[in-house]
Amino acid sequence: MQSAVSVSDLKVTYGDHTVMDKLDLDVAPGEFLVLLGPSGCGKSTLLNAIAGLNDIADGEISISGRNVTWSEPKDRGIGMVFQSYALYPRMSVRRNLSFSLRVAGLPKAEVEARVEKAAALLHLEPLLDRRPAALSGGQRQRVAIGRALVRDVDVFLFDEPLSNLDAKLRNELRVEIKKLHQQLGNTMIYVTHDQVEALTLADRIAIMKDGVIQQMATPTEIYHHPVNLFVAGFIGAPAMNFLEGRLEVHEGAPVFKGDGHRLDLSAYPFLQPPKSGYVTLGLRPEHLTATPDATSGGQSIAATVSVVEPMGADTVVWFEGGEPGLSMRIMGETDLSPGTALSLYTDLSKASLFDADGARL
């Protein structure tokens, strides 16, 4: 199948500094791909290179099978939504939506039809005659998205479009964008540093660090099987718990030995035959429990409660030791209090294990 967007051997430099080198990326038609990572990881640089807003030093970019490496942004067949709304303040919503089409010289009837379609998809019909100053932040961002939609292209690029909104509006508009993708079926590439946006919106997530894609997979695969320590620590709130220790293998039986912990890892799905050495054991907070069950094999980690954080639907319990310490996520409320000593149990088949270099074992 031909890729909707293909990036091969991409190199981007700023002066003498190389931001990314030999980066490859293939996005399937109709896919919603999220570029996720911390500030400065290169996600917006990659998106701007695809859009033609950044010069590249080497490599090739194709959109819908057409080499657009040196094409102008307007000729690449893309619609782009930026972090800032960048609306024309003296124009109504209707004229903001239609501006690029009128400049391109499209027939009036087609312009009106495209504007009406975009307005219906984004629930903007009652707002078409208002100016941006009379709109809320969420409404302005919907107009900015609509301005991209009217271009009727196959690929849409989003550069942190929700970061200027408050939490409630972000949640509402995130749902709207998800619905929009389901209705349109267009290819969408979306940049964010918010892991909740990534996990809820994406068909696949590309997690980036220092201009390199660390892992590109479905949200489920990335959450449950991170390929390295960086990905494991970046995804999840609270973050994955990490226990430093040593893996010892005797007659094929792997055992993790840490600070007072001895855990049998026979149930762990190793990628290759285990070898003795220093390792990091990763445990998701929601996989820890204070109640033993059959999956834990009776193995436990001793811990003392330091802080209890009621979150409404669930509760996060933090334990003493380390920075910031172990955390456990439990559904509903709890009567645990600081100072309580517990034995923590977990299903080690759901754990993540990393070698001394941070690679998944």
Burial 255-290 (b: 16+ CB within 10 A, else e): bbeeeeeebebeebeeeeebeeeebbbbbbbbbbbb
SS3 42: coil
* Ordered DSSP codes for 221-283: HHHHS-SBHHHHHHSSSSPPEEEEEEEEEETTEEEEE-SS-EEE-TTS--SS----EEEEEEE
SS3 175: helix
Least confident range of 93-107, 143-157, 221-235, 288-302: 288-302
The pLDDT assigned to 251 comes to 82
Summarize the confidence of residues 112-119 as an average pLDDT. Answer: 93
Residues in the chain: 361
Least confident range of 5-9, 31-35, 261-265: 261-265
Please say if the pLDDT value at position 16 is more than 60. yes
The pLDDT assigned to 229 comes to 97
The pLDDT assigned to 89 comes to 92
SS3 337: coil
Summarize the confidence of residues 92-106 as an average pLDDT. Answer: 92
The pLDDT assigned to 36 comes to 97
Instruction: Round to whole Å and give the CA distance between 276 and 34.
Output: 37
**Phi, psi values for residue 335, rounded to 5°:** -100, 10
Q: Show the CA angle centred on residue 231, arms to residues 234 and 355, nearest 5°.
A: 125
Summarize the confidence of residues 161-165 as an average pLDDT. Answer: 86
CA distances from 284 to 27, 207, 248, 361 (A): 30, 19, 22, 17
Please give the structure tokens belonging to residue 225: 């099987």
Q: What percentage of residues in the chain have a pLDDT greater than 70? A: 97
Please say if the pLDDT value at position 185 is more than 70. yes
Residue whose C-alpha is closest to residue 51's, from 24, 31, 78: 78
The pLDDT assigned to 168 comes to 86
Question: 131's torsion region: left (phi>0), alpha (psi -120 to 50) or beta?
Answer: beta
The pLDDT assigned to 325 comes to 79
DSSP state of 106: -
Summarize the confidence of residues 321-336 as an average pLDDT. Answer: 83
Q: Show the CA angle centred on residue 173, arms to residues 30 and 63, nearest 5°.
A: 25
Please say if the pLDDT value at position 323 is more than 60. no
Please tell me which residue, 5 or 251, carries the higher pLDDT value.
5
Summarize the confidence of residues 120-146 as an average pLDDT. Answer: 92
Please give the structure tokens belonging to residue 117: 């379609």
Give residues with Cβ within 8 angstroms of 220, minimum separation 6: none
CA distances from 200 to 16, 18, 175, 318 (A): 38, 32, 9, 26
Q: Answer for the pair 180, 145: CB distance below 8 angstroms, yes or no.
A: yes
Instruction: Round to whole Å and give the CA distance between 343 and 265.
Output: 18
Q: What percentage of residues in the chain have a pLDDT greater than 90? A: 74
Q: How confident is the model at residue 178 (pLDDT cuts 50, 70, 90)?
A: very high
Summarize the confidence of residues 234-244 as an average pLDDT. Answer: 93
**Residue at token pair 């701007």:** 48
Q: Answer for the pair 122, 176: CB distance below 8 angstroms, yes or no.
A: yes
The pLDDT assigned to 294 comes to 66
Summarize the confidence of residues 114-123 as an average pLDDT. Answer: 91
Q: Compute the mean pLDDT over every residue in the chain, rounded to the nearest whole number.
A: 92
**Strand ranges inside the chain, DSSP E:** 5-14, 17-27, 32-36, 58-63, 66-67, 78-81, 155-159, 187-192, 204-209, 212-217, 241-250, 253-257, 262-264, 277-283, 288-289, 301-310, 314-319, 327-331, 341-346, 352-354
Q: How confident is the model at residue 322 (pLDDT cuts 50, 70, 90)?
A: low
Instruction: Round to whole Å and give the CA distance between 256 and 254.
Output: 7
